[in-house]
Amino acid sequence: MSAGLTRDEEILARLAERDLAAVERTHDKLMAAEDAAEIAELGRTYTRMARSLRQTLALKAKLAREREDAAAKRPGPPGPELVREGLRTVSPDQRAQIERARDAVMLRFDVERPDWDELDEAMVYDILITLAEEDEDFLEAPVGTLVARVIELIASLEDDAEPGDRPCEEPVPQDSA
């Protein structure tokens, strides 16, 4: 499958090629025909096949546009000005540690939480910058530890933001003896 194409787009591309080949064969037969009835029949067939090819190409173009629109709407990484502003307050060593930890957090979410496509990279940077400023052991901390702390903080923020989504605890029945 070609890079960047979905399975549906790949199938439509193959279908368009086959439609085009069929239209060309039918056109060649139409041009070679001499009998009026055969010309009429091949003309109708050619028209139907050409319509099918146009519809396939139109659908293929529509899917490509939709894919491009979806890609344009996907949030990109935080702007360089936002990252630079927050990173100005930390040392170059802290910056390098922040970048390593951010890369690991993003990779972990890609692998373990593919359903969570709304991870805010700017929030990850903010958390890591705050940890770098407040934690004396930030530079010595293993990246895995920083990743776990970031994920824990994101989860706590998620819990605070959506209290109605948490399951309600059922009251414990009291013995009335």
Residues 68 and 87 in one domain: no
Per-residue pLDDT, 22: 96
Domain that includes residue 20, residue range: 7-73
Q: pLDDT tens across 120-140, in order? A: 777 888 889 889 988 888 999
Q: Residue 171 falls within a domain, yes or no?
A: no
- The proportion of the chain whose per-residue pLDDT surpasses 90, expressed as a percent, equals 35
Q: What is the total count of domains within the chain?
A: 2
pTM, to two decimals: 0.44
Q: Which long-range contacts does 82-87 make (Cβ < 8 Å, 24+ apart)?
A: 82/122, 82/125, 83/122, 83/125, 86/125, 86/126, 86/129, 87/125, 87/129
Alpha helices in 33-91 (DSSP H): 36-73, 80-87
Task: Let me know if residue 128 belongs to a domain.
Answer: yes
Co-location of 25 and 63 in the same domain: yes
Does 13 share its domain with 34?
yes
127 CB-near residues (< 8 Å, 6+ apart): 149, 150, 153, 154
- The model's pLDDT over 57-102, given as tens digits with 9 standing for 90+, comes to 999 899 888 878 876 776 555 555 655 666 777 888 888 898 899 9
| 170, part of any domain | no
